[in-house]
Amino acid sequence: MTAAVALKDKEVAVDEEGYLINLADWNEDVARTMAADDNIALTSNHWEVINFLREYYAEYQVAPAIRVLTKAIGKKLGPEKGNSKYLYELFPYGPAKQACRYAGLPKPTGCI
């Protein structure tokens, strides 16, 4: 069984937890569609985290665990954003897990 996210003009394959099978399938529409399926409209605050994750993955080839994400966001965007309260408000299903999915990355290692 393969699941898929339906975009306007095509479908992209995802695994049973909703993560992209082929990371190259990602574009902003994929993120917007995944979020809309969760009843979330992405704001610039969401994009800040999604873009950060994509840059982190491009650099290190690893999807950061929540603790690492929180610390790294704090370093880059300031302490008012580098805390789990702020990140959980943006991504209530778990910032690393949910934001990585929207960003087209694999599920972070060490995430349960």
Partner 1 sequence: MSDTEADEGGNRKVKRFMIVNRKAPYGTIYALEALEVVLIGAAFDQDMTLVFADDGVYQLKKGQQTKGIGQKNFSPSYRALGDYDIEKLYVERESLQARGLAPEDLLVPVRVLGSAELSVLMDEQDVVLSF
Q: Which residues participate in catalysis according to the annotation?
A: 111
Q: Which is nearer to partner 1, 42 or 72 (CB)?
A: 72
Residue in 25, 103, 9, 111 with CA at minimum distance from that of residue 65: 111
Which helix (H) or strand (E) segment holds residue 68: the answer is: helix 66-77
Contact segment (CB under 8 A) with partner 1 among 2-10, 28-36, 42-50, 65-73 equals 65-73
Q: What is the distance between the alpha carbons of residues 60 and 12, in angstroms, rounded to a whole number?
A: 25
Contact segment (CB under 8 A) with partner 1 among 36-44, 63-71, 82-90, 97-105 equals 63-71
Q: Is 67 in the site for partner 1 (CB under 8 A)?
A: yes
